[in-house]
Chains A and B, each alone.
Chain A
Amino acid sequence: MESTLDIFVKAIFSENMIFAYFLGMCSYLAVSKTVKTAVGLGAAVIFVLTVTVPVNYLLENYVLQEGALAWISEDYASLDLSFLAFIMFIAVVASIVQLVEMLVEKFAPALYGALGIFLPLIAVNCSILGGALFMQERQYSTILDATAFSLGSGIGWFIAIVAIAAIREKLRYSNVPGPLRGLGITFIVTGLMGIAFMSFMGIKYGEEVAEDENSTEVTTATTDQQLENK
């Protein structure tokens, strides 16, 4: 079995939401013109992913899966509601986003000022639903693993959008061929960043936790360096 730390690191780097699965591309392309807004949206994604995936995990394991309802009574043990997963997940995501928006507005007005406009956008961000669906597909054994996965995915998404926003800010001063300007070059740069992120596929995930911690430190150090270079 993979350790929780493995899942976390994997979700950030080698299985990065943007570079490996293209999830959340729409907002990634639309909101990456300046670093400041990118940081806001990125933080909102981390937040919402970390909240929704564990909730969906409980839903999946105690309501939807085959035999999941056995805790109510033996009569329900044969029920398999997993075909309802899509509609339940999206309903959970949409309502949690609403709830989070109201709570943040009430209790943390400063945070609301920073994240506020991005929160409604997030309900239809593919990476949130994608996180829930990947969680369902990969069958994480504990809720801790699922949370580590969602936090890691969120951080990976954050790194990706902040990096592309920084690059796009610089690109404004370069002489890009007319037809490529804007969207075209953003696609190609994202592709190149994706190739760079493929190198993280070489990270060895194993049983030895000590070794893992080393590799985590190394990889975060290199990304920090890369980000700084950018």
Chain B
Amino acid sequence: MSSEKGTEPLFSKKNKKLITDPLTDNNPVTIQVLGICSALAITVQVNQAIVMSLSVLFVIIMGNLIVSVLRNLIPSRIRIIVQLLVVASLVIIVDQVLAAFLPDLSSKLSVFVGLIITNCIIMGRLEAFAMANKPWPSILDGLGNGLGYGAILIIVAVFRELFGSGTLMGIPIFGNPLPGEESGLYAMGYQNNNMMILPPMALIITGIIIWVQRSRNKALIEEH
């Protein structure tokens, strides 16, 4: 680990960059376009998004660590299969833990926990980073990318839950929407935007996040 290098401190500048970069200018979702598959379907409620982010965070950190430890033992011809098996085993652990302790959320997330296996962020980081780096930087890289993924997920979920159901993590924000006993904003005629709950809005919100991010950082703009 880091002691092998002796001189490099645990949180050197380079290592800190591993965590902060994916949160902003090298975000796995909005810049590298990875892991969108599972990211959007489970952003209807913030709860689901948080559980999903934590699951991915666990899988990516452990996966990076395991593959990084094994990197000199894995024959390069079968590395993809080995990586898939590592990820699949970790996802089974996550799935069993969720099913045992959070059965409601687990049934809502349905197939999307299983789809963490094919989440391109995880395979991408294993292939691009963990196969070529020592365990400690790999853990940090996993942490950074997992957080970057979670950040986008939670931002999208906040918008969708707030405007779609008028709640955040199940807590009503705008008052009581039940007809006949409206309170808060609903008493003034406010309506929930049911469109937000439908799948297409997740795409449009992500599109807008990309728009905002790229107009703040012109270097990221694509030619076409």
Contacts and interface: CB of A to CB of B under 8 A. Distances in A.
Interface of A: 19-26, 29-30, 83-87, 89-91, 94, 123-130, 133-134, 136-137, 172, 177-188, 190-195, 198
Interface string B26-56: 0000100111111111000000000000000
A25 B111 CA distance: 15
Interface in B8-35: 30, 33-35
A3 to B, nearest CB: 23
A19 B89 CA distance: 29
A179 B222 CA distance: 8
A167 B56 CA distance: 33
- Lowest 3 A-B CB distances belong to which pairs? A194-B200, A182-B222, A187-B207
A85 B110 CA distance: 13
Nearest to A186: B207
Nearest to B224: A172
A25 B110 contact: no
25 contacts: A21-B41, A22-B39, A22-B40, A25-B37, A26-B35, A26-B120, A85-B114, A86-B91, A86-B95, A86-B114, A90-B117, A91-B88, A129-B114, A129-B117, A178-B214, A178-B221, A179-B212, A179-B215, A180-B211, A181-B221, A187-B203, A187-B210, A190-B200, A191-B203, A191-B204
Interface residues of B, number: 51
A195 B199 CA distance: 8
Interface string B156-184: 00000000000000000000000000000
Contact of A84 (B30, B81, B92, B221): B92
Interface of B is mostly: helix
B84 A181 contact: no
A21 B199 contact: yes
A20 B89 CA distance: 28
Interface string B120-151: 10010000000000000000000000000000
Given A22-B39, A184-B214, 15 more contacts: A26-B35, A83-B95, A86-B92, A86-B114, A87-B88, A87-B92, A125-B118, A128-B118, A130-B115, A137-B111, A180-B210, A183-B210, A194-B198, A195-B198, A198-B198
